[in-house]
Chain A
Amino acid sequence: MIDPSLVGRSLSPVTAHVEPGRLRYFRETLGETNPVYGDARAAQAAGYAATPVPPTYLFCLEMMDAEQAFEFITVIGVDIGRLLHGEQRFTYRAPVVVGDTLKFQPRIVSVADKKGGAMTLVGIETKVTNQNGTHVADVSRTVVVLNPKTA
């Protein structure tokens, strides 16, 4: 069982850089060909200062630049093989573009046992700000921990 007193606990902040080469690799992996993401002029025509990140890329930036990508697993004390991703949400407040430096501030917001203890849902919310202090996004995920069967 996961300690419910972890609710409210902050995890280590992460500083991440939106680098064009890593972003190109991400786009190529997903077969993303929308010019707004790959062509600075198309991005500017859409109103961006530079090419923006695709809708889910904030999730990746936080993991790539974290000193411990799975810090929360250590904090909640479970094996990575027992995790599933339950839910994911992005709320977009301001553009994120190539060249930005972002700060991610994650914290544990919920711990709830389900199905008679067979699984535990852990909620993590992350506030994202940029180099100007602008609050650009909120990222929220729910992780499913499959608990070992008790004989």
Chain B
Amino acid sequence: MSTAVKAQPAIGDRLVHKVFPPISRHTLALYCGASGDHNPIHVDLDFARAAGYPDVFTHGMLVMGYLGQALTDAVPPPRLRMFSTRFVAITQLGARLTCEGHVAEFVEHDGERCAKLALTTKDENGDLKLAGEAVIAL
């Protein structure tokens, strides 16, 4: 695992890249149970329509879960110090997500030499869904 990231990555290096299968209604139902997030807007079409949406839509935290998976495929989990994201846009049913992360800068975090990664999740049209950051120990 520790070989997944070079000891001295350079600014601009793409460390993270993973493509996920299309998001189905079944995935949303499973995630509702698996996450404890029982907000009906993600699984109950009648509720979503009554709230003004055309259909149910993906839990933001499912999308962040995929981004986290892509992140720790590339970076050993013990090196992860911080992981954050903005939810830029709603992720629709059927979206095929691509998660990426590039080295943005080197920072000191609690006295430790770290790299800050700029993270994105985009759908199959290239539309940005999540814009995030991670701080990883080098």
Q: Are B62 and A91 in contact (CB under 8 A)?
A: no
Question: Is B113 interfacial (CB-CB < 8 Å)?
Answer: no
Q: In whole angstroms, how far apart are the Cα atoms of A31 and B69 in the complex?
A: 9
Q: Which of A28, A30, A60, A87 has the most CB of B within 10 A?
A: A30
Task: Check A54/B61 contact, CB under 8 A, given A46-B78, A69-B36, A87-B85.
Answer: no
Q: Are B61 and A89 in contact (CB under 8 A)?
A: no
| Interface-facing stretch out of A1-9, A78-86, A107-115, A124-132 | A78-86
Size bracket, chain A contacts: 35 or more
For B27, what are the chain A residues with a Cβ–Cβ distance below 8 Å?
29
| Interface-facing stretch out of B8-16, B37-45, B100-108, B120-128 | B37-45
Q: In whole angstroms, how far apart are the Cα atoms of A91 and B134 in the complex?
A: 10
Partner of A89, one of B40, B41, B82: B82
CB distance from A144 to the nearest CB of B (A): 8
Q: Are A63 and B41 in contact (CB under 8 A)?
A: no
Partner of A86, one of B34, B40, B77, B87: B87
A60 to chain B: closest residue by CB: B35
CB distance from A88 to the nearest CB of B (A): 6
Size bracket, chain B contacts: 35 or more
Q: Are A91 and B81 in contact (CB under 8 A)?
A: yes
Task: Check A55/B87 contact, CB under 8 A, given A46-B1, A85-B61, A92-B82.
Answer: no
Q: Are B62 and A30 in contact (CB under 8 A)?
A: yes
Partner of A54, one of B65, B86, B87: B65
For A28, what are the chain B residues with a Cβ–Cβ distance below 8 Å?
30, 34
Partner of A63, one of B36, B64, B66: B36
Question: Is A36 interfacial (CB-CB < 8 Å)?
Answer: yes
Besides the known contacts A60-B35, A87-B84, 13 further A-B residue pairs in the complex with CB atoms under 8 A apart: A25-B30, A28-B34, A29-B30, A48-B78, A54-B68, A60-B36, A66-B36, A83-B39, A85-B60, A85-B61, A85-B87, A88-B84, A90-B83
Binding site for A on B (CB under 8 A): 1, 20-21, 27, 30-31, 33-41, 47, 50-52, 59-62, 64-66, 68-69, 71-73, 76-78, 80-87, 90
Binding site for B on A (CB under 8 A): 22, 25-26, 28-32, 34, 36-37, 46-48, 52, 54-56, 59-66, 69-70, 80-92, 95, 140
